[in-house]
C-alpha cells in the first residue's frame, strides 16, 4: 500500500509509540485521525504533525467504550471521507505479581488492575478493529490493520493482565487476517520488545537494569525502529496474519 494521502486512525497517539507513528507517518504525507483519552497531550501531537502540512485531527475517545468507538469511526469517515489504515496501539500497564508474600504479608494483583488492562488493550483493540472493518466493508474498499502486541505475550513476570491481552491481540491478528483476506484487507501485528517510551521509563530502575542486561543488544529499542516495522507491513502487500518481533533478540 502507498502511504501518501492514506487516512490512518492511530489509537494511543498522545504518547509513546503512537506519537512516534503519527510523526513518522506525517513525514510520509499520510492523513491522520489521532485518538487518545488524554486530550491535552493529543492536541500537542496534532500540532507537531500539522507542521508537515498534512491533515491531522484529534479525537478524544475511550477505546474500551463501544458507543464511543462506533461514533469515532463514523466521525472519522465523515471528516476525511474515508479510512484506510488502523493502528491498534492504545495500551496500558498495571504491573504486579499475581500473588506474593513480603514480610509475612500477602499481596495480590487486584481485579481492578486486571480488568483495566483487559478493557483498554484487548476489548479496545477488538472494538476498534471491528468498527474499522465495518467501515471498509460499507465502502467496499481494501485497507490494512496493524495491531500492537508485545514481547510480553509469551508470559512476563509481573504482567498477568498485560500478557493475557497481548497474547489475545496476537491471535486476533491471525483470525482477522483469515476472515478479511477475501475483502482485500490485510491484518498484521508487531510485538515490540522493551522500547524507550514512557511505559518502559516507569519500570523501577533496578528491575529495568536487570531487564536490559538480558537483551542481547544491551539497549532499549528506539520508537522509530518500531515505525520501521509499521512501514514494512504497510508496504508489503503479501504480508498478512503474521507478527513481526522487533525486540533486540530478547526472549522472555
Ligand atoms: N525480568 C526479570 N526480573 C524480574 C522481572 C522481569 N520482567 N520482573 C520482576 N523481576 C524480579 C525482581 O527483580 C525481583 O527479583 P529478586 O527477588 O531477585 O530481587 C523479583 O522478580 C520480584 O520482583 P519485585 O521485588 O520487584 O516485586 P514487587 O512486587 O515489588 O514488584 C513488579 C513487582 C511491579 C512486577 C516489578 O517487579 C516490575 O515492575 N517488573 C517489571 C515488569 C515488566 O517487565 N513490565 C514491562 C513494562 S513495559 C511494557 O509492558 C511494554 C512492553 O510491551 C514490553
Rounded CA-CA distance 48/108 in Å is 41
State yes or no: pLDDT of 52 exceeds 90: no
**Which residue's alpha carbon is at the smallest distance from atom 11 of ligand 1?**
207
pLDDT in the model for residue 11: 99
pLDDT in the model for residue 118: 99
Q: Of ligand 1's atoms, which has the minimum distance to the CA of residue 158? A: 35
User: Which residues are near ligand 1 (CB < 6 Å)?
Assistant: 93, 95-97, 100, 150-152, 156-159, 162, 192, 194, 199-200, 203-204, 207, 210-211
- Band of pLDDT at residue 142, cut at 50, 70 and 90: very high
Residue with cell 483498554: 120
Q: Of ligand 1's atoms, which has the minimum distance to the CA of residue 203? A: 39
Q: Are 112 and 122 in contact (CB under 8 A)?
A: no
Rounded CA-CA distance 151/142 in Å is 29
State yes or no: pLDDT of 233 exceeds 90: yes
pLDDT in the model for residue 129: 99
**Which residue's alpha carbon is at the smallest distance from atom 7 of ligand 1?**
157
Q: Of 158, 195, 209, 210, which is best to mutate to test ligand 1, by the most ligand atoms within 8 angstroms of its C-beta? A: 158
Closest CA to 16 of 169, 159, 189, 199: 199
**Which residue's alpha carbon is at the smallest distance from atom 9 of ligand 1?**
157
**Which residue's alpha carbon is at the smallest distance from atom 34 of ligand 1?**
96
**Which residue's alpha carbon is at the smallest distance from atom 53 of ligand 1?**
150
Ligand 1 centroid to Cα of residue 87, in Å, is 28
Q: What percent of the chain has pLDDT over 90?
A: 99
- Band of pLDDT at residue 175, cut at 50, 70 and 90: very high
| Rounded average pLDDT over 67-95 | 98
> Mean pLDDT, the chain, as a whole number?
98
Ligand 1 centroid to Cα of residue 162, in Å, is 13
Q: Are 36 and 42 in contact (CB under 8 A)?
A: yes
Ligand 1 centroid to Cα of residue 120, in Å, is 21
pLDDT in the model for residue 32: 98
- Put simply, whether the predicted model's pTM sits higher than 0.75 gets the answer yes
How far is C-alpha 65 from the geometric centre of its chain's CA atoms? 17
Ligand 1 centroid to Cα of residue 130, in Å, is 33
- Report helix, strand or coil for 3: coil
Which residues are the active-site residues?
Answer: 162
Residues in CB range of 108: below 8 A, 6 or more apart: 96, 98, 99, 100
Q: Of ligand 1's atoms, which has the minimum distance to the CA of residue 206? A: 13
pLDDT tens digits, residue range 4-43?
999 999 999 999 999 999 999 999 999 999 999 999 999 9
pLDDT tens digits, residue range 178-224?
999 999 999 999 999 999 999 999 999 999 999 999 999 999 999 99
Amino acid at each position: 500500500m502507498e502511504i501518501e494521502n492514506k487516512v490512518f486512525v492511530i489509537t494511543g497517539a498522545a504518547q509513546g509509540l503512537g506519537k512516534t507513528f503519527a510523526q513518522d507517518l506525517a513525514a510520509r504525507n499520510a492523513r491522520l485521525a489521532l485518538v487518545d483519552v488524554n486530550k491535552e497531550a493529543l492536541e500537542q501531537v496534532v500540532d507537531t504533525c500539522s507542521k508537515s502540512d498534512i491533515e491531522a485531527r484529534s479525537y478524544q475517545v475511550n477505546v474500551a467504550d463501544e458507543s464511543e468507538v462506533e461514533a469515532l469511526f463514523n466521525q472519522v469517515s465523515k471528516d476525511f471521507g474515508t479510512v484506510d489504515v488502523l493502528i491498534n496501539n492504545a495500551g496500558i500497564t498495571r504491573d504486579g505479581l499475581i500473588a506474593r508474600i513480603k514480610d509475612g504479608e500477602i499481596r495480590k494483583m487486584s481485579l481492578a488492575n486486571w480488568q483495566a488492562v483487559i478493557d483498554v488493550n484487548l476489548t479496545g483493540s477488538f472494538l476498534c478493529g471491528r468498527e474499522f472493518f465495518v467501515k471498509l466493508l460499507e465502502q467496499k474498499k481494501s485497507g490494512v490493520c496493524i495491531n500492537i502486541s508485545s514481547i510480553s505475550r509469551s508470559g512476563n513476570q509481573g504482567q498477568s493482565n498485560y500478557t493475557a491481552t497481548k497474547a489475545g491481540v496476537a491471535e486476533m491478528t491471525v483470525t482477522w487476517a483469515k476472515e478479511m483476506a477475501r475483502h482485500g484487507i490485510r491484518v498484521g501485528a508487531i510485538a515490540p520488545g522493551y522500547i524507550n517510551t514512557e511505559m518502559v521509563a516507569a519500570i523501577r530502575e533496578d528491575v529495568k537494569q536487570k531487564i536490559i542486561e538480558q537483551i542481547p543488544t544491551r539497549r532499549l529499542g528506539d520508537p522509530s525502529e518500531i515505525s520501521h516495522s509499521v512501514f514494512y507491513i504497510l508496504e508489503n502487500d503479501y504480508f498478512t496474519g503474521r507478527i513481526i518481533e522487533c525486540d533486540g533478540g530478547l526472549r522472555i
